[in-house]
Amino acid sequence: MIKKTLDQQLKKASEIIKKSKRTCFFSGAGLSVESGIPCFRGPKGIWNMIDPGFIEINYFLNNPNESWKLIKKYFYDFLDDIKPNDAHKGITKLQNMGYIKTVITQNIDCLHQAAKNKNVYEYHGTLEYMVCMNCGLRVKSSNIQLDTLPPLCDKCRGLLKPDFVFFGEPIPFKAQDQADYEIKNSDCFIVTGTTGEVVPAGLIPMYAKRNGSKIIEINTEKSNYTDYITDVFLQGKATQIISALVKELTE
């Protein structure tokens, strides 16, 4: 019975995607769970193990050593080992088939790019780069040794910070601008692996819905969106559902 309902929902979703003139894929931490990266929230979430205060901007500036020890442990130490999963790869297939135009991600793990997704907008920035808090120089994280902490800028010896949005920092203007464009111009959003609890990112699907967009949601659990704005809820793991969508849209 559950399988039959999911099959019907998959058909409904693929009809919406086929009719859409511009589809935007909106991702959260759940998309990368099957690559071995935990979510922040929920029973197995990182915030159950550690207080998120170490990535609050004023704490970071006042306690760079303590903050960097945890940033290294929770973000950089695993970065070399992670790989895109079948959901990331499925997005590439859907883009190559012409069904997805852009990707807005809240994730900072670079896995959309690693899977060769196109037109990826990183709303919360990325671990791939660090930025100097003194001179603004942006450097590739892979060129920075983390043996001695905190890492310092080669040019001016200022403090380096990962180029993702810390608590207390604004969303970069360019990222907001790109999100606003998609809200205005896309007629379908595929919202995957996000609770919708982090704002302003979580508001993007809400504004898109208000602008007339259809909302297809993929999640293992109901989210803040499911009973309010979601048109088609595809319940399950991102890898399984996106692979099924690719199959449905290939037939």
Residues of this chain that interact with ligand NAD (CB under 6 A) are 28-30, 32-34, 37, 39-42, 45, 106-109, 124, 193-195, 197-198, 201, 218-221, 223, 237-238
Closest distance to ligand NAD from the beta carbon of 122 (Å): 9
Residue 218's CB: how many other CB atoms inside 10 A? 27
Euclidean distance between CA atoms 89 and 238, whole angstroms: 11
Euclidean distance between CA atoms 153 and 213, whole angstroms: 44
Residue with smallest beta-carbon separation from ligand NAD: 30
Residue 74's CB: how many other CB atoms inside 10 A? 16
Residue 169's CB: how many other CB atoms inside 10 A? 15
Closest distance to ligand NAD from the beta carbon of 152 (Å): 25
124 counts as catalytic: yes
Rounded to 5 degrees, what angle do the CA atoms 229, 172, 112 make?
Answer: 65
The one-character DSSP state at 11 is H
Position 169, amino acid: E
Comparing CB distances to ligand NAD, the nearer of 30 and 151 is: 30
Closest distance to ligand NAD from the beta carbon of 126 (Å): 9
Closest distance to ligand NAD from the beta carbon of 228 (Å): 14
Closest distance to ligand NAD from the beta carbon of 236 (Å): 7
The pair of structure tokens assigned to 69 is 């020890």
Contact in structure between 63 and 150 (CB atoms under 8 Å): no
Comparing CB distances to ligand NAD, the nearer of 29 and 190 is: 29
Comparing CB distances to ligand NAD, the nearer of 7 and 197 is: 197
Look-up: residue for tokens 């909302």? 215
Q: Give all strands (DSSP E) within the chain, no chain letters.
A: 23-27, 102-105, 120-122, 125-132, 138-140, 160-164, 188-192, 214-219, 232-235
Q: Which of 88, 93, 124, 161 is catalytic?
A: 124
| Helices and strands in the chain: count of H runs, count of E runs | 8, 9
Comparing CB distances to ligand NAD, the nearer of 114 and 144 is: 114
Comparing CB distances to ligand NAD, the nearer of 153 and 217 is: 217
Task: Name the strand (E) or helix (H) holding 31.
Answer: none
- Active centre residues (catalytic): 124
